[in-house]
Chains A and B, each alone.
Chain A
Amino acid sequence: MSERPAIRITDFTKVYRGFGQRAHTAVEDLSLEVAEGEVFGFLGPNGAGKSTTIKSLLGFLRPTRGRLEMLGQSHSDVTTRRRIGYLPEVASYYHYLTARETLRFYAKIFRLPRAGLAQRIDEVLDRVGLLTQADRRVGTFSKGMTQRVGIAQALINDPDLLILDEPTTGLDPLGQREIRDLIADLRRRGKTVFFSSHELSRVEEVCDRAAILRQGRLVRLGALDELMPPQHGLEAVVAELDEGALRSRSPWPVQVLSRRSAELTVCLEGAEDLRAALNLFGELGAEVRLIERRRPRLEDVFVEAVSGEERRG
């Protein structure tokens, strides 16, 4: 790990307390480092404590225990935030401002130089695909458009560290792909991105490392290659296959992954020998359209990490 990580979380615990409410431990003893220039995926099921951690990083919640640092400074240091961009999980923007005015407002808070600001704002609006809507009031925006405003405001100061809480919620498939490209682009430029997400296939595409949180505890942490070791088994797309016959004849456990009209995607767990598999399908009179070594999927790792161990009370 680098000398000075972009984010360092040490023994962080957050307990929510409220009048007449039972204390609730949302995050417990979380320690985690994100290196500079890294794209880091922060994963976990609903209620795992992702947003709690992120909000604490930004100083909205006071940690019950532990230390949180960003760019080498304590999380409560206000001046560090000049170099940070943040997209909240749920936020709204001032309804009475237009998209362009919204960005100008935040730019003023950042004290960005006036020179070239209009151009910078247009650039960012273009980046999130809102340039044609720039002079409409944010209050009239759809959910996905509002999310785009959120991404734009997180980018306005060209941050070194970007913290995104579920950046793809509400976005159409095109928008989701744009986010992926955006993150890839930021990485190319040496920026650090820390984001939570439920879109595991997207995470898989862009992340260097990931952490999986479950009920406030860290259950997996590491580079994606480590998290997803190569799998044993073969995956095949086959037509005109008698499923029952396959199950009875196959020496390997059979798992049907998807079924689309005449085509079946099956997984032969533990199978290594391509030729043997092809022979098997041949004997069954099936037509093999595609066969490949089984690819590891983050989704499987996630499901295993989250449900594998005993649930805490």
Chain B
Amino acid sequence: MSAVVVNTLREALRRKQAWVLLIVTGVVMAGASMINVFDLEQQATFAKLTPLLVIPFVAMVLSTFVAARQLPTEIRERTLYPLLAKPIHRWQWLVGKYIGIVLISWLIILVLFAVFQILIWIKGIEVNAFLYQGLFLMLLQIAVYDAMVLLLSLILHADATISLGILIFVGSYLFEKPLWAAIEGAQSLWDRVLLEALYWVVPQFKLFDVTRAIRYNWDPTPLTVLIPFVLYALCLIVVCLALGSLRLQTRDL
């Protein structure tokens, strides 16, 4: 399985597009933040907020393209046949791919985060622990997202996977609040259960966003909140990968 992980990473590195994309976004973002963000009134707050607002979306888009194409490409190019004829379970292959993809996504996030850190440091803005908690949550968020995209890619075509993945991510940011409000104001118990099921089954990526907390200068989230959060993320990942394995196992290749 570790061989699959390493191979996934190696592919990303050798196919130079990944690097090009990463460098281009890094440069663009650095440029943009120099010009706009840092000249605004609430300099410090914005400097701290921007990475947490921008990075998830950039990383999400980049990793969608990595994750959505992995499995379909191996099936289409038939690199899968020689591999799966060897003593490796299909779930091992899936999990190996998943870990590779997550590592790539984390690399993207860390590079982007480092760019921002350097900018913040140049400007001499003070940061609190929250920023790092934000980073941790971003890493968790993308791990959930990658698992979801990988599952979708086993069910849908690559293009549909990309669209739907991005849609769910953005949708979660837009509709988290209204959905929660609807649950609160649900008329019957039945409605409430249904809405709540919807709320928890579709991954709520907005929950991993802590910009609000930073804006209002809340204290860092206590561990008691963070741990259930990690568990929620792990649950989603396990469910996605389990469903993916099941789908892979029962399908003709």
Contacts and interface: CB of A to CB of B under 8 A. Distances in A.
Interface of A: 16, 55, 58-62, 78-82, 84, 86-88, 90-94, 96-97, 105-106, 108-111, 150, 153-154, 157
B252 A96 contact: no
B250 to A, nearest CB: 8
A43 to B, nearest CB: 21
B177 interface: no
Contacts, number: 73
A106 B86 contact: yes
Nearest to A150: B82
A153 B87 contact: no
A81 B89 contact: no
Contact of A110 (B2, B4, B10, B86): B86
B81 A91 contact: yes
A113 to B, nearest CB: 15
Nearest to A156: B86
Contacts of A58: 81, 84-85
Interface in B80-94: 81-89
B105 to A, nearest CB: 19
A96 B15 contact: yes
A208 to B, nearest CB: 24
6 pairs of A and B residues whose beta carbons are closest in the complex: A108-B3, A86-B85, A88-B81, A96-B14, A60-B253, A81-B87
Contacts of A78: 87-89
Nearest to B89: A78
Contacts of A84: 85
Given A96-B10, A110-B86, A90 B78 contact: yes
A94 B11 contact: yes
B7 A60 contact: no
Contacts of B7: 94, 97, 105
Contacts of A97: 7, 10
B42 interface: no
A76 B61 CA distance: 38
A79 B87 contact: yes
A26 B116 CA distance: 59
B81 A60 contact: yes
Contacts of B88: 78, 109
A105 B86 CA distance: 11
B83 A109 contact: yes
Given A90-B78, A92-B79, 10 more contacts: A61-B252, A79-B87, A80-B87, A81-B87, A87-B82, A91-B82, A94-B79, A109-B4, A109-B83, A110-B86
A87 B82 CA distance: 7
